[in-house]
Structure 1
Amino acid sequence: MKKTTFLGAILLVLGLALPAVPANAAGEGAEAHQQSWSFSGPFGTYDRNQLRRGFLIYKDVCSSCHGLEYISFRNLSEPGGPEYSEDAVRALAAEYTIEDPNAEGGEREGVPSDRWPDPFPNEQIARDANGGALPPDLSLMAKARTISQDFPWWALNYFTAYQEGGADYIYNLLTRYEEPPADVELEPGQYYNDFYGIIAMGLPLADGMIPYEDGNTPETLHQYSLDVSAFLQWTADPHMVSRKQMGFRVLLFLVGFAILMYLVKRRLWRDAH
C-alpha cells in the first residue's frame, strides 16, 4: 500500500511539472542549436569583452528598430556588465537627445541616468515604419523566450542554474534565415526563418557587416549572433553574477552552520547515554 502511494505521489509531481516544459515561439518542434555560454551553470559569469561586442552590434544594427526600455546608460558601467568607464558612458549618453518637458524646447542632451531612448516616438509610427509589424523591446527578450527541451533535461535546469535558454533562442533566430520551402508562400515584407517560421524581420546580420576593434574576433554571422545574444542575456539579467556570488556565500554559510550545529548537538548529548 505504501509503495503504491509513493508511486502515485511521484506520478502526480511529474504530471504537475510536465506543463512547465519550455517552448520556443516557433512552436513547431524546431530543433535549437545550443551554444556554449560563459554565463551558464551555477558559477558562470558574463564575458565583458563579449558584452561590449554585443552592445556594439545592438547599437549599430538593432537599435534602429528595437528599444531597451529597462536599461539606463549608467547600467553599462556597472560591475558584471560591459563595465565601460563613467566618462565613456557619459559621452555615449550625450550623443542622444532625450525628450524632457522640463527642458528648454522640450529636449535635452542625454545623461547616464536616462533610459535608453526608444527608436520610435509611438507604436503607430513604429508599425508604419515596419510594414505593420511592431518591433519588440529587447531588454527582457532573453527572459521572455527560451528553447524547447525534452524531459528530463529541462528538469535538470533547476539544479544547474540554466541561463542560456533565452540566449540560445535569440542565436537560433538570428542564424536560421533561409529560402522558404515550396509549400510556404510569403507575403510582401515577410521572410522565412527555419527556427521561427514566417517573420516580418529580415536577416539583420551578415558576415563582415560590423568591424571589431580587437582585430582577433571573427567577423562572422555566427560570432555576431553569439555576441548580441550574450548582451541581451545581460540586459535581461544584469545582476546575475552578484546573485550567483551571494547564493554561493549563503550555501557556504548554511553548510558551516549545519556542521556547527551537529558538533554542538554531539557535545550537549554526549553524556546522555
Structure 2
Amino acid sequence: MVRIIGILIGLFFSGWLLVSFGMGAKEYITNPPAETAEHEFHLEAKEISFSSDGPLGKFDRQQLQRGFQVFKEVCSACHSLRLVAFRNLEEIGYSEEEVKAIAASWAIQAPDIDPATGEMSTRAPLAADKFPKPFANNVAAAAANNNAIPPDLSLMTKAREGGAPYVYSLLTGYQDPPTNLPKANQPGPGLHYNPYFANLNLAMAPPLAVEDQVSYSDGTKASVDQMSEDVSAFLIWTAEPKLEERHQAGWAVLAFLLIATILAYLSYRTIWADVKAKKKKKVTEA
C-alpha cells in the first residue's frame, strides 16, 4: 500500500512538472522576452589573429616584449599580474640581468617583513617575486577607480569569452554612445561607453587613448591599434606561457599514435596471414 501511494505521489509531481514545462514553453513561444539594449548594441569581438593561434602557433617574442612594455607603463598602474614572476620574463627574450633590472626599477614596492621587528614593510622587488599589486587591498583599489576593482590580468584571455580578440576589441572600442541608445543605458558619471563590454558601460577610462603613448624600444610605431594588439598578445602568454611546449607535445603525440597505428596494422596483417594460411591448408587437406 505504501509503495502504491509513493508511486501515485511521484506520478503527480512528474505530471505537474511536465504541465509546468509545457506552459512555460508555450508562454516563451507566444510571448518571447524583449531584447534589452545590451543585446541590441553589444558587439562581438573584432576579428584579429595572433602568431600564437592555431596548432602551429608560436609566440612573437618581440611583440611580447612590446606588450610587456605597454603593461608596465600603462596597465600596471591599476591591474595586477599576480600569477607571473619577474623571472618568467626570461621566457619572452629578456636576459637574466635585464630581468633583475626590471624588477629593481619597478614602481611598486614588494611586501616584506622586517626581520628585526616582525612588522610589515616593503622593499624593491626581486627577480623571484611575483609582480606586486598596485593597491594594498580591494578597498583601496575601488576608491581609486570609481568603486570598480580592476581585475587581475594574469588569466584574462582565458577568463573572458572571446579571449585575446575580446581584450583587443575592448581596448580599441571606446566611442561616443549612439543617439538611439536608451536613456537607462547612457553612461553615468565616471562611466565610459564601449559596445564590446557586456553592459555597454565600464568604469575604466580608455587606457590607450593616443598614439605614441608608449615609446617602443624597437622603433615600432605605437598606434592605439598596435599597442592594443601587443598587450593582448602579451596577455595570451601570461595566461598560457607553455603554449608552444603544448603544441610541440601535441604533434609528438600525434606522430607517435600514427606510427603505433601503422605498426599495429602491420602486426595484424602478419599474424592473421599465418592464421588464414593454416585454415586454408586444413580445408585443402580435408
Same fold (TM over 0.5): yes
1:99 maps to 2:103? no
Cα offset, 1:102, TM superposition = 4.9
Whole-angstrom distance in 1 between the partners of 2:253 and 2:239: 24
Partner residue, 2:167: 170
Residues 1-273 of structure 1: pairs in structure 2 closer than 5 A? 29-78=42-91, 82-96=92-106, 97-103=109-115, 106-147=121-162, 166-182=163-179, 183=181, 184-196=185-197, 197-205=200-208, 206-215=210-219, 217-273=220-276
CA–CA separation in structure 1 for the residues paired with 2:156 and 2:164: 9
- Deviation per residue, 1:188-241 (Å, 9 max, x gap): 1111012211110111112121111222x2221111110000001111111111
Aligned residues: 226
Q: Of the two structures, which has the highest relative contact order with CA contacts closer than 8 Å and spacing of 6 or more?
A: 1
* Alignment partner, residue 11 of structure 1: none
Give the superposition deviation at 1:95: 2.1
Amino acid at match of 1:242: E
Q: Secondary structure at the match of 2:275?
A: coil
Contact 1:207 1:221 in 2 (8 A): yes
Q: After superposition, what is the alpha-carbon deviation per residue over 1:115-138, rounded to whole angstroms, capped at 9, x for unaligned?
A: 100000011001111111111111
| Kept in 2: contact 1:146–1:168 (CA 8 A) | no
CA distance in 2, matches of 1:134, 1:176: 20
Structure 1 position 91, deviation (Å): 1.4
**CA displacement at 1:27 relative to structure 2:** 6.1
SS of the equivalent of 1:63 reads helix
TM-score by length of 1: 0.79
Q: Which runs of 5+ in 1 are unaligned?
A: 1-25, 148-165
Distance (whole Å) between structure 1 residues aligned to residue 102 and residue 221 of structure 2: 25
Change (3 A) 1:250 1:63: same
Q: What's the CA shift for 1:30?
A: 1.2
Residue aligning to 1:10: none
Structure with greater Cα Rg: 2
Q: SS of the residue aligned with 1:99?
A: strand
Deviations 1:114-167 (A, max 9, x none): 1100000011001111111111111110000123xxxxxxxxxxxxxxxxxx11
Q: Which residue of 2 aligns with 1:12?
A: none
Instruction: Read off the aligned partner of 1:234 and give its amino acid letter.
Output: W
DSSP-derived class of the 2:273 partner: coil
Q: Which amino acid aligns with 2:63?
A: Q
User: How big is each residue's C-alpha offset from its partner over 1:24-75, in whole Å with a ceiling of 9 and x where there is no partner?
Assistant: xx76651321112101110101100000000000000000000001111111
Tell me, in whole angstroms, the C-alpha distance in 2 between the residues paired with 1:173 and 1:46.
22
Gaps of at least 5 residues in structure 2 are 1-37, 277-286
Q: Report the equivalent of 2:32.
A: none
SS at match of 2:64: helix
**TM-score, normalization: structure 2?**
0.75
